């Protein structure tokens, strides 16, 4: 991918809601970046893939780096599959998200890539161009049993329509780890659709996309493996800061009725996971003291590698949005989680967010403009109870999830937050949406809880230092990433 164009990308500011950053001249045009960030943005041009999606994130080079490591990690965990292998799970996920979110750019990119790859060494023998016309017919004889199940599984995740039968088919086909990794990839694609739709990026006319040859594919897999190895070292060095907030147990956990895969709270639970190797079980035991509590994180005990990395992603986005957090009542991150729970029909997420929010109001976490009555006002974003920023936040997040963004609302959000914070909020909503899909797929409901303890303010400084160290190490990994895409 060449970035030798010497002029700033024309039309990127007027045709889209945010500049598409393809060249060093585009970087120089970003007045919201400081000199250090511009240096990083220029370096990123050789590290990221091409395409408007990645170039859009040039407006926030730190987030751009974090999210490319997210992509590389899931690709490494799902290899040899890739998003341009025709009708493989990653390719299907991208296509189905584009259809679900009505994302023109994503739909165009996936159609061209898939059509171009059919008949090449990347494709399997049983792939045909006619399959692109039968995506609405998952029971067609053109699909293999796995492809048929994949289409139905992805749609069920996106629409919260999972059944025990479909889940069992996916588990039998992929196993527990691959199943979770595919949901993580669906979540990444959904986040991407929200970025592109919010920025109003459309697809250009294109007949064919060039496909990488076998040697380039081998080199790319080596590239992702090296990044993943470095990220694993970051996780290995993470201290068990959260251990002090949890009660440890050595007994088998009582699993909720109807749960589709186990909630891993103890070392005894880990020993029951026959699909994990001894090395993976050791990592799972270490993770118990590193991850937050709650059924969401414990569900990922079935895949300790993914569990560790997703916690790094969460902490990275949290640091980029600091001092906000999901525990600050009616802040951007808190409202993002609440809105995702409402849209996805995620009972567990709705329960935990309402309890956390209600418990935090009136404590040191909350400000004086927060009231319990606001929990009942989310369907009334123009209520006088909301501040101007809260009003914009509710409307903006809802527009991202429903693909109903307007120029006026986007401009209000940019004036309120600036380009970087706007993109970071979309990333957080995407992360929360992925979480809702995991929890819904597992069929986890919420239990009766009146109140949750709010951590003491004395822990705040220690926690901030904890996530700052992890982000610093993560930035070190990104700095060492070779400019693979420059060539």
The answer to whether 48 and 88 are in contact (CB under 8 A) is no
Between CA 40 and CA 61 the distance in angstroms is 6
Concatenated DSSP letters for 440-458? HHHT------S--PPPPTH
The answer to whether 221 and 484 are in contact (CB under 8 A) is no
Q: Which fold has domain 89-206?
A: AhpD-like (1.20.1290)
The tens digit of pLDDT for each residue in 242-255 reads 775 555 667 898 89
Q: Is the dihedral of CA 432, 40, 90, 225 positive or negative?
A: negative
pLDDT score for 13 = 40
pLDDT score for 49 = 87
Rg (CA), the chain: 22
The H or E element that residue 194 is part of is helix 164-199
DSSP 383: -
Residue 197 has pLDDT above 90, yes or no: yes
The tens digit of pLDDT for each residue in 132-167 reads 999 999 999 999 999 999 999 999 999 999 999 999
The answer to whether 423 and 53 are in contact (CB under 8 A) is no
Q: Percent helix, strand and coil across the chain, each rounded to 5?
A: 65, 0, 35
Q: How far is CA 437 from CA 4, 18, 93, 224, 357, in A?
A: 41, 29, 13, 26, 22
The answer to whether 401 and 343 are in contact (CB under 8 A) is yes
10 Å Cβ neighbour count for 61?
Answer: 27
- For 298, the token pair is 């414990």
Residue 9 has pLDDT above 80, yes or no: no
356-364, long-range: CB within 8 Å, 24+ apart, which pairs? 356/326, 356/327, 356/452, 357/329, 357/330, 358/451, 359/451, 359/452, 359/453, 359/454, 360/327, 360/328, 360/329, 360/454, 361/329, 363/454, 364/454, 364/457
Between CA 402 and CA 194 the distance in angstroms is 9
Give the count of alpha carbons within 13 A of 113, CB side only: 23
What are the residue ranges spanned by the domains of the chain?
89-206, 238-318, 321-454
pLDDT score for 207 = 66
Return the CATH superfamily for domain 321-454.
AhpD-like (1.20.1290.10)
Q: How far is CA 346 from the centre of its chain?
A: 17
Q: How far is CA 482 from CA 24, 58, 235, 403, in A?
A: 18, 17, 21, 35
How many angstroms separate the first and last alpha carbons of the chain? 6
pLDDT score for 444 = 93
Tokens 């967010």, residue located: 353
Q: Would you say how long the chain is, in residues?
A: 487
- For 363, the token pair is 């404590």
The tens digit of pLDDT for each residue in 314-360 reads 999 999 999 999 989 999 999 999 999 999 999 999 999 999 999 99
Kindly report the CA angle at 67 between 61 and 72, in degrees rounded to 5?
125
Q: How far is CA 106 from the centre of its chain?
A: 16
The tens digit of pLDDT for each residue in 444-468 reads 998 876 667 777 787 888 888 889 9
Between CA 124 and CA 53 the distance in angstroms is 27
Average pLDDT over residues 206-216: 76
- For 192, the token pair is 């991407």
pLDDT score for 248 = 61
* CATH topology identical between 89-206 and 321-454: yes
pLDDT score for 227 = 94
Burial of 98 (0-12, 13-18, 19+ CB in 10 A): buried
SS3 302: helix
Q: Nearest-CA neighbor of 142 among 160, 123, 129?
A: 129
For the chain, give the mean pLDDT.
91
Q: Is the peptide bond before 323 cis (omega within 30 degrees of 0)?
A: yes
Looking at 300-406, list the stretches that DSSP marks H as alpha helix, in order from N- to C-terminal side: 304-320, 332-344, 347-360, 388-402
Q: Nearest-CA neighbor of 427 among 134, 94, 58, 57?
A: 57
- Higher-confidence residue of 402 and 245: namely 402
Q: Which residues contact 448 (CB under 8 A, 6 or more apart)?
A: none
Between CA 476 and CA 259 the distance in angstroms is 39
pLDDT score for 38 = 97
């Amino acid at each position: 991918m060449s970035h030798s164009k010497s002029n700033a990308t024309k039309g990127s500011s007027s045709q889209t809601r945010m500049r598409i950053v393809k060249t060093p001249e585009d970087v120089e045009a970003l007045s919201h970046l400081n000199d250090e960030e511009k240096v990083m943005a220029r370096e990123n041009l050789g590290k990221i893939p091409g395409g408007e999606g990645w170039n859009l994130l040039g407006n926030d080079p730190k987030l751009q780096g974090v999210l490319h490591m997210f992509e590389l990690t899931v690709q490494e965990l799902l290899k040899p599959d890739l998003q341009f292998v025709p009708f493989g799970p990653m390719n299907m996920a991208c296509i189905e998200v584009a259809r679900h979110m009505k994302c023109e750019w994503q739909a165009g990119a996936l159609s061209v890539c898939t059509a171009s790859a059919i008949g090449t060494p990347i494709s399997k023998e049983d792939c045909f161009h006619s399959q692109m016309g039968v995506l609405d017919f998952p029971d067609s004889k053109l699909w293999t049993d796995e492809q048929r199940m994949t289409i139905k599984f992805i749609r069920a995740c996106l629409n919260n329509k999972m059944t025990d039968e479909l889940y069992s088919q996916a588990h039998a086909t992929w196993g527990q780890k691959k199943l979770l990794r595919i949901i993580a990839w669906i979540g990444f694609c959904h986040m991407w659709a929200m970025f592109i739709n919010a920025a109003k990026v459309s697809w250009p006319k294109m007949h064919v996309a060039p496909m990488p040859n076998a040697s380039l594919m081998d080199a790319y897999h080596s590239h992702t493996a090296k990044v993943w190895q470095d990220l694993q070292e970051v996780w290995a060095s993470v201290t068990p800061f959260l251990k002090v907030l949890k009660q440890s147990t050595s007994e088998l956990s009582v699993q909720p009725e109807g749960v589709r895969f186990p909630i891993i709270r103890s070392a005894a639970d880990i020993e029951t996971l026959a699909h994990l190797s001894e090395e993976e079980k050791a990592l799972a035991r270490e993770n118990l003291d590193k991850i937050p509590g709650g059924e969401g994180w414990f569900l990922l005990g079935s895949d300790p590698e993914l569990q560790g990395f997703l916690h790094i992603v969460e902490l990275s986005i949290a640091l980029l949005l600091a001092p906000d957090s999901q525990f600050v009542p009616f802040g951007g991150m808190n409202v993002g989680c609440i809105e995702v729970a409402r849209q996805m029909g995620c009972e567990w997420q709705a329960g935990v967010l309402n309890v956390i929010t209600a418990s935090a109001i009136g404590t040191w976490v909350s400000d004086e403009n927060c009231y319990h009555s606001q929990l009942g006002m989310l369907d009334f974003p123009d209520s006088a109870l909301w501040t101007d920023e809260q009003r914009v936040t509710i409307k903006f997040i809802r527009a991202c999830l429903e693909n109903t963004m307007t120029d006026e609302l986007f401009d209000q959000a940019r004036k309120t937050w600036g380009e970087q914070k706007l993109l970071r909020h979309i990333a957080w909503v995407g992360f929360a949406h992925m979480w809702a899909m995991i929890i819904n797929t597992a069929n986890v409901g919420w239990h009766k809880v009146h109140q949750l303890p709010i951590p003491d303010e004395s822990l705040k400084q220690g926690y901030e230092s904890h996530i700052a160290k992890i982000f610093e190490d993560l930035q070190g990994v990104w700095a060492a990433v070779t400019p693979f895409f420059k060539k």
